[in-house]
């Protein structure tokens, strides 16, 4: 077994152990809907918050010449390395491992899987949008203090305003869809520079009194993902905490920075796959105590659902392979390669979305009326799936895929 394989296996074991722990009281926690402070601490103690941080590549990132080897070796990219013993070191894992961990956690608790996946994407924001020296500094501090990242830099969000003041900036406005809004150590948000209107990725410390959590009311699903609104009133931002542009205008972002979009799409896909697989595993347990299933309707229904899940999983695996190869290309990646990766990620997300919606409905059908018993909490799978997929409708991804297939059009850079 190679070091990479050993590291991947280690983190999957860690994720399964935590998933088993979360599964014990997931129904009670989900129904209570409290802020996931304890859950974040469990992620922190397991080392999963620093999974993607490569503690051994800082010197190379400071000079902008990453030398990591393996599946993800571009500027600032981590590879699956053997975990260290120092609690302040990063896990050194790559995206293939991170996605597998998100999927494992989501199978037990969809909301915490969503929270962890968002953390991975947002914590990697500096790699895509900030200069190498800034990315290295932020990553070192994040690893040392084991930050939980929240926020949101979605293209659909109306950006906050960033006004130059002295040697820094002031952040103002309202952000309506912030993940981990009141449990994160740092937030990464989208803000428009006053004057030019250029959208920028901005790192914010939420402890400032001007950053106020404003819940917009409870959602019926993903309740433990701590998604809510935030008001920002003259919150100071240091010059070094403004990472860089999020503009979709042609030529602004490098193809490597453009990979941020498929990275995020595949987080969404693995959250959906995890929730779907978690529900299938739970519903299967309802039938096993009675011995081998004989009902042909029941057997064929599970067969169909297994095909749906495995088909979506195969597409996700293909997209992850293309993504990790693209990351290994670093700044040598070209626009055509970036577009192909983005389309594959959109295909995977659309397939995972449809699979999760189909399974969340039909898996309950095969149980029947017993699935409605609140003590089992099986409805949480459907509610988590629908809440997640309402934010990212498959129709948008299908349009991108169709335009690329028919017309060769590159997808416009858009973050979920």
Same fold, 152-245 and 255-407: no
Main-chain phi, psi angles of 267, to 5 degrees: -60, -50
pLDDT recorded at residue 380: 87
Q: Which of 107, 55, 49, 99 is nearest to 76 (CA)?
A: 55
Alpha carbon distance 266, 268 (integer Å):
5
Alpha carbon distance 35, 235 (integer Å):
23
> Which CATH architecture is the domain 255-407 placed in?
Up-down Bundle (1.20)
Superfamily of domain 152-245: Butyryl-CoA Dehydrogenase, subunit A, domain 2 (2.40.110.10)
User: Per residue in 373-410, pLDDT tens?
Assistant: 676 778 888 888 888 888 878 888 999 999 999 999 99
Range 106-116 average pLDDT: 95
Residues 6+ apart with CB under 8 A from 86: 55
Alpha carbon distance 246, 257 (integer Å):
9
Phi-psi region of 154 (alpha: psi -120 to 50; beta: other; left: phi over 0): beta
User: Per residue in 4-55, pLDDT tens?
Assistant: 889 999 999 999 999 999 999 998 988 888 889 999 999 999 999 999 987 5
Range 226-249 average pLDDT: 92
Sorted by where each begins, the domain ranges of the chain are: 3-148, 152-245, 255-407
User: Per residue in 281-335, pLDDT tens?
Assistant: 988 887 776 667 778 888 899 999 999 999 999 999 999 999 999 999 999 999 9
Alpha carbon distance 265, 104 (integer Å):
17
Angle at 414 between CA 215 and CA 170, to 5 degrees: 55
User: Per residue in 14-23, pLDDT tens?
Assistant: 999 999 999 9
At residue 202, the 3 state secondary structure works out as strand
Alpha carbon distance 360, 382 (integer Å):
5
User: Per residue in 121-152, pLDDT tens?
Assistant: 999 999 999 999 999 999 999 999 999 999 99
Q: Which of 48, 49, 29 is nearest to 38 (CA)?
A: 29
Within 10 angstroms of residue 314's Cβ, the number of other Cβ atoms is 12
pLDDT at 69 over 70: no
Alpha carbon distance 24, 240 (integer Å):
42
Within 10 angstroms of residue 46's Cβ, the number of other Cβ atoms is 17
Residue 244 DSSP class: E
Q: Note the CATH number of domain 3-148.
A: 1.10.540.10
The reported pTM is 0.90
pLDDT at 190 over 60: yes
């Amino acid at each position: 077994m190679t070091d990479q394989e050993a590291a991947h296996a280690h983190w999957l074991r860690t994720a399964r152990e935590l998933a088993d722990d979360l599964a014990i009281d997931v129904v009670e926690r989900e129904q209570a809907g409290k802020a996931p402070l304890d859950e974040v601490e469990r992620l922190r103690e397991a080392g999963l918050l620093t999974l993607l941080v490569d503690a051994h590549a800082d010197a190379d990132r400071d000079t902008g010449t990453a030398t990591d080897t393996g599946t993800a070796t571009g500027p600032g990219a981590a590879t699956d390395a053997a975990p260290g013993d120092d609690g302040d070191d990063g896990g050194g894992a790559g995206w293939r491992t991170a996605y597998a961990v998100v999927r494992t956690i989501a199978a037990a608790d969809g909301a915490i899987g969503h929270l962890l996946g968002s953390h991975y994407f947002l914590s990697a924001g500096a790699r895509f949008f900030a200069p190498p020296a800034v990315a290295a500094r932020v990553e070192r501090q994040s690893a040392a203090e084991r930050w939980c990242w929240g926020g949101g830099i979605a293209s659909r969000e109306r950006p906050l305003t960033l006004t130059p003041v002295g040697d820094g900036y002031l952040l103002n406005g309202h952000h309506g869809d912030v993940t981990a809004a009141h449990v994160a150590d740092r937030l990464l948000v989208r803000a428009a520079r006053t004057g030019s209107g250029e959208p920028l990725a901005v790192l914010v410390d939420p402890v400032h009194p001007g950053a106020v959590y404003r819940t917009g009311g409870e959602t019926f699903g993903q309740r433990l993902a701590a998604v809510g609104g935030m008001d920002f009133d003259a919150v100071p931002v240091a010059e070094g905490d403004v990472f860089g542009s999020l503009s979709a205008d042609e030529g602004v972002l490098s193809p490597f920075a453009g990979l941020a979009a498929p990275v995020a799409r595949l987080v969404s896909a693995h959250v959906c796959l995890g929730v779907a697989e978690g529900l299938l595993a739970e519903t299967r347990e309802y039938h096993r105590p009675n011995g081998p299933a004989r009902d042909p309707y029941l057997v064929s229904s599970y067969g169909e659902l297994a095909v749906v899940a495995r088909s979506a999983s195969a597409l996700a695996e293909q997209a992850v392979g293309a993504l990790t190869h693209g990351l290994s290309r670093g700044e040598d990646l070209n626009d055509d390669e970036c577009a192909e990766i983005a389309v594959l990620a959109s295909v995977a997300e659309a397939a995972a979305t449809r699979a999760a919606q189909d399974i969340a409905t039909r898996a309950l059908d095969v149980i029947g009326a017993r699935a409605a018993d609140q003590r089992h909490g099986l409805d949480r799978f459907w509610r988590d799936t629908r809440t997640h997929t309402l934010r990212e409708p498959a129709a948008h991804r299908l349009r991108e895929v169709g335009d690329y297939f028919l017309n060769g059009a590159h997808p416009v850079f858009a973050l979920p």
